[in-house]
Amino acid sequence: MARTVIPFGPQHPVLPEPIHLDLVVEDERVIEARPSIGFIHRGLEKLVEKKDFVEFTYLAERICGICSFIHGQTYCQGVEGIMKIAVPPRALYLRTIWGELSRLHSHLLWLGLMADAVGFENLFMHSWRVREKVLNIIEATTGGRVIFGSCKVGGVRRDIGPEAAEGMLADLEIIERDIRDITGIFLNDRSVKDRLCGVGVLSRKDAYDLGCVGPTLRASGVAQDMRQLGYAAFKDLPVQPVTRTEGDSFARCAVRCEELFQSIDLIRQALAKIPAGDIAVKVTGNPNGEHVERTEQPRGEVFYQIKANGTKHLQRFRVRTPTFANLPALVKVLQGCELADVPVLVLTIDPCISCTER
């Protein structure tokens, strides 16, 4: 059988993000996949040499339009680590709440995209309808829907008052009920299972060795979640990683479904335990030193390396995003798959290419 190379992306109706794949196929079977990126490389890491380290929080948030808050939070944690800043406990809880709201809307966005990829348009619309309610909470508490702008070095810019907290708890009741409805369909509907079960199986060993992170790793049975490190308020709110053992696309979907309930539970716990007090401390001086920070974004672990030399401009700002870590696994699962499964398998790692390219 003659081999054909099919260029796939960066602009393609089924691709949510501009990644390019050279698919080497024999008949309808993919023999090899070669990804390439860089179409939206913005050089954000380089901009750190020109922007003030305080001002750069806004740029760090703009690395991604979905996990924007956690990017800003991780950056602030890195600078605070160098400057040995003790962030007020209330600010740590607020960061945790907004971080988990980010996870909720990111996973709901992914569920919608997956429903669209398998041709279940109603489920896609319902997933995004529920996501809209999460965005409304974010808008009510931060003023933004995608870029929150509420994290800063030394704490946070906004507080959540008792009335807003009560409103959030009431909204979460409705959101949880809605999520229970839609995840019930994802996990039980035959047409969804037909497209996801047994597709793109990644063994536990492969997922670990290939450096996978997030739901892609946990769906293969590895119980690793950076929230276990205890950053922000997670030292008071222990997280038990959600895992599955099948390692296929359905398992990755199931992990994300269950993490939705976990995030709602964490927000409730955080609202119940949030201490009173200041939400920020004054920051003086410039950072001098180096710090590595790891946090759990919706797509998995993000790695930040920040290096400062005592001036207001940082020397180096290095970001390794979760999608970048999951690219080798994508290459692996695409080998031997059916051509028709490529969109599902690309989606299954929840790719964020603008995040990846920075």
Q: Report the candidate in 4, 44, 31 with the shortest Cα–Cα distance to residue 338.
A: 31
**Three-state SS string across 149-212, please?**
CCEECCEECCCCCHHHHHHHHHHHHHHHHHHHHHHHHHHHCHHHHHHHCCCCCCCHHHHHHCCC
DSSP 236-264: TS-------SS-SHHHHHHHHHHHHHHHH
Q: Is 128 in the site for another protein (CB under 8 A)?
A: no
Q: Is 100 in the site for another protein (CB under 8 A)?
A: no
The nearer residue to another protein, 136 or 305, going by C-beta atoms, is 305
Q: Are residues 9 and 19 in contact, defined by beta-carbon separation less than 8 angstroms? A: yes
Kindly state the smallest distance separating residue 54's Cβ from another protein, in Å.
20
Q: Choose which of 136, 328, 338, 339 interacts with another protein (CB under 8 A).
A: 328
Cα–Cα distance between 196 and 192 in angstroms, integer? 6
Instruction: With H, G, I as helix, E, B as strand and everything else as coil, classify residue 308.
Output: strand
Query: What does the per-residue mask of binding to another protein show for 77-96, with x meaning CB under 8 A?
Result: ----x---------------
Q: Is 205 in the site for another protein (CB under 8 A)?
A: no
Q: Which stretch binds another protein (CB under 8 A): 111-119, 188-196, 245-253, 322-330?
A: 322-330
Helix 89-117 to helix 68-83 angle (10° resolution) is: 150
Q: Choose which of 129, 209, 277, 288 interacts with another protein (CB under 8 A).
A: 209
Q: Is 43 in the site for another protein (CB under 8 A)?
A: yes
Q: Is 327 in the site for another protein (CB under 8 A)?
A: yes
Cα–Cα distance between 348 and 345 in angstroms, integer? 5
Q: Are residues 179 and 130 in contact, defined by beta-carbon separation less than 8 angstroms? A: yes
Q: Is 315 in the site for another protein (CB under 8 A)?
A: yes
Cα–Cα distance between 23 and 30 in angstroms, integer? 6
Q: Is 31 in the site for another protein (CB under 8 A)?
A: no
Kindly state the smallest distance separating residue 234's Cβ from another protein, in Å.
8
In the window 279-298, what residues touch another protein (CB under 8 A)?
290-294
Number of residues that bind another protein (CB under 8 A): 42
Q: Is 318 in the site for another protein (CB under 8 A)?
A: yes
Query: What does the per-residue mask of binding to another protein show for 228-247, with x meaning CB under 8 A?
Result: xxxxx-xx------------
**Residues at the interface with another protein (CB under 8 A):** 20, 34, 36-39, 41, 43, 45-46, 81, 208-211, 224, 226, 228-232, 234-235, 290-294, 301, 303, 305, 307, 315-316, 318, 320, 324-325, 327-328, 357
